């Protein structure tokens, strides 16, 4: 049985949730696969209408949902209301994606017998994966990366049924969110829900599961990878695992508002008690006492809070022990009111000691902790940045853009999103967002888990060669009845 806990007190809340058995997981996957046959054949405009309805029912249930989420996460009304709105926005974005039609990548090359060798008529477009998408919900975003998250929204948009392995940190909420979303689905079986660690193993290895999305730790992600490799038919795995999100403060930034720079860092570091995958955990700064004092003052003014689960809190304590054994403490915040609250910590070292301490010092400490690394010259950073593990984000703070010329290529190889004079926490749900990066930030750096391009993970291309016009999908017919964007004989055609 799974027991939800109030992070503020550690006390159980709600009724215990039974863990799903292997037979129950199989039945859920099979039901989703059956429902998926009709869903896959549903025209894109009709799928878009369903996604809009899901957004509507989530917003209509906001009062009930945020209270249930707060019981299990202690994230508070403002944060949770905002996250529900974000989740609804994700479903609306994918409704727009379906209306646009570009996600199909419809491409036509007419026959050309004059080519050497002669070219046949070839037409290609994307189709939904032929199976169920398995999704592992994240603990730190009970809506936006969970049952109502972007993986679910993008997979349903693609035309795939989904089975979610609920996060043990909010099992009651997971069931409630699933029940709300199902009211907007043409078949409730299109969204399955299972509970428990063993259920995750059975889900990954079920033959009807065609791909898996995951947001969580590196050990959790690598365990899923191993399970997938044990399948007789390995399937795609899209995991978002760990990220230290380096920030480089260049010397020209010292001519700006150092207080604003420091308070911006402290706010980003401690947002959500540091439980964001884009938390700025590593900051390179010029060796400047005024800046270091501003950072110390800003961090000292912060307040911690309860972490989502005891396991996350234990991991944070382990990370602090690792950092404190290799770096000096620069500043600490204060604990929150809850007896389970943790304290923000920032540590300090120099670039030489940091380089000697690699790779350990570049390991993510999930929570409100960061390591500040002093450097003398910009050139001191070239080798260090080249040796960092992949990250979701990398940030530059500077007053003079030309100063960053040699740093930019290093950061664009290192991270999937680069930020100028800002902070990485907060991932916009939009067409151009890329939320991924080289290992260990993600298992597939060419793909994103946020933004319109997230749908491509659940699609597979099919090429039709010399296919009878009457049998072609409408999207590939010469008359283009859906008025979709397409590439015809190498030329993009307007909508």
* Residues acting as catalytic residues: 240, 277
| 189 DSSP assignment | G
Cα distance between residue 36 and residue 39, in whole Å: 5
SS (HEC) of 56-104? HHHHHCHHHHHHHHHHHHCCCHHHHHHHHHHHHHHHHHHHHHHHHCHHH
- DSSP strand E in 97-199: where? 107-109, 122-128, 132-136, 162-165, 191-194
Name the nearest CA neighbour of 434 among 143, 149, 150.
Answer: 150
- CB atoms under 10 Å from CB of 463, counted, come to 12
Return the biggest CA–CA distance within the chain.
78
Helix axes 197-205, 218-229, angle to 10 degrees: 40
Q: Helices 258-270 and 289-300: crossing angle, nearest 10°?
A: 40
Q: Tokens for 134?
A: 């398995």
Any idea what the Cα angle at residue 414 is, between residues 409 and 239, rounded to 5°? 150
Q: For residue 237, report the phi and psi dihedrals to the nearest 5 degrees.
A: -130, 120
Q: In angstroms, what CA-CA distances link 347 with 256, 282, 292, 327, 372?
A: 23, 10, 11, 6, 6
Distance of CA 485 to the CA centre of its chain: 28
Residue with tokens 């404190």: 324
DSSP structure string for 365-431? --SSEEEEEEESSGGGHHHHHHHSPPEEEEEEE-S-GGGGTTTHHHHHHHEEEEEESS-S-----ST
Q: How far apart are CA 279 and CA 447, in angstroms?
A: 20
Task: For residue 201, give the H/E element and its range.
Answer: helix 197-205
Structure tokens at 261: 């720079």
Supply 451's token pair: 């933004």
**Cα torsion for 364, 458, 22, 172, to the nearest 10°?**
60
Q: Give me the residue label for tokens 């999937």.
A: 416
């Amino acid at each position: 049985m799974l027991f939800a806990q109030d992070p503020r007190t550690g006390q159980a809340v709600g009724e215990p949730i039974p863990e799903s058995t292997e037979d129950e997981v199989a039945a859920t996957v099979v039901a989703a696969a059956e429902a998926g046959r009709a869903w896959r054949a549903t025209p894109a405009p009709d799928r878009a209408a369903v996604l809009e309805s899901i957004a509507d029912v989530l917003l209509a249930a906001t009062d009930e949902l945020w209270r249930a989420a707060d019981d299990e996460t202690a994230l508070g009304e403002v944060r949770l209301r905002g996250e529900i709105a974000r989740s609804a926005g994700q479903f609306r974005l994918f409704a727009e994606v379906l209306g646009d039609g570009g996600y199909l990548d419809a491409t036509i090359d007419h026959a050309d017998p004059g080519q050497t060798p002669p070219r046949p008529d070839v037409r290609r477009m994307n189709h939904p994966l032929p199976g169920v998408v398995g999704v592992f919900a994240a603990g730190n975003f009970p809506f936006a990366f969970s049952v109502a998250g972007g993986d679910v929204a993008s997979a349903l948009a693609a035309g795939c049924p989904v089975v979610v392995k609920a996060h043990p940190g909010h099992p009651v909420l997971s069931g409630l969110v699933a029940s709300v979303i199902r009211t907007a689905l043409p078949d409730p079986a299109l969204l399955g829900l299972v509970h428990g660690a063993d259920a995750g193993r059975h889900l990954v290895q079920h033959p009807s599961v065609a791909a898996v999305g995951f947001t969580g730790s590196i050990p959790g992600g690598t365990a899923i990878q191993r399970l997938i490799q044990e399948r007789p038919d390995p399937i795609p795995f899209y995991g978002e695992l760990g990220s230290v999100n380096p920030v480089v403060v260049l010397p020209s930034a010292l001519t700006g508002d150092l207080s604003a720079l420091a308070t911006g860092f402290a706010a980003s570091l401690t947002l959500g008690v540091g439980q964001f995958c884009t938390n700025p955990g590593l900051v390179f700064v010029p060796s400047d006492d005024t800046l270091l004092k501003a950072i110390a003052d800003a961090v000292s003014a912060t307040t911690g809070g309860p972490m989502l689960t005891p396991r996350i809190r234990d991991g944070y304590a382990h990370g602090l022990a690792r950092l404190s054994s290799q770096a000096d403490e620069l500043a600490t915040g204060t604990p929150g009111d809850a007896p389970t609250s943790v304290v923000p910590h920032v540590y300090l070292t120099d670039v030489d000691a940091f380089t000697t301490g690699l790779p350990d010092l570049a390991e993510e400490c999930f929570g409100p902790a960061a390591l500040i690394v002093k450097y003398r010259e910009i050139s001191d950073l070239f080798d260090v940045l080249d040796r960092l593990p992949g990250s979701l984000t990398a940030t530059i703070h500077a007053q003079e853009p030309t100063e960053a010329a040699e740093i930019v290529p290093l950061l664009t190889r290192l991270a999937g999103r680069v930020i100028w004079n800002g902070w990485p926490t907060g991932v916009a749900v939009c067409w151009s967002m890329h939320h991924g990066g080289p290992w260990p930030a993600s298992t597939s750096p060419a793909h994103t888990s946020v933004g319109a391009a997230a749908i491509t993970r659940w699609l597979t291309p099919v090429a039709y060669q010399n296919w009878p016009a009457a049998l072609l999908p409408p999207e590939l017919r010469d008359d283009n009845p859906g008025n979709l964007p397409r590439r015809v004989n190498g030329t993009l055609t307007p909508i």
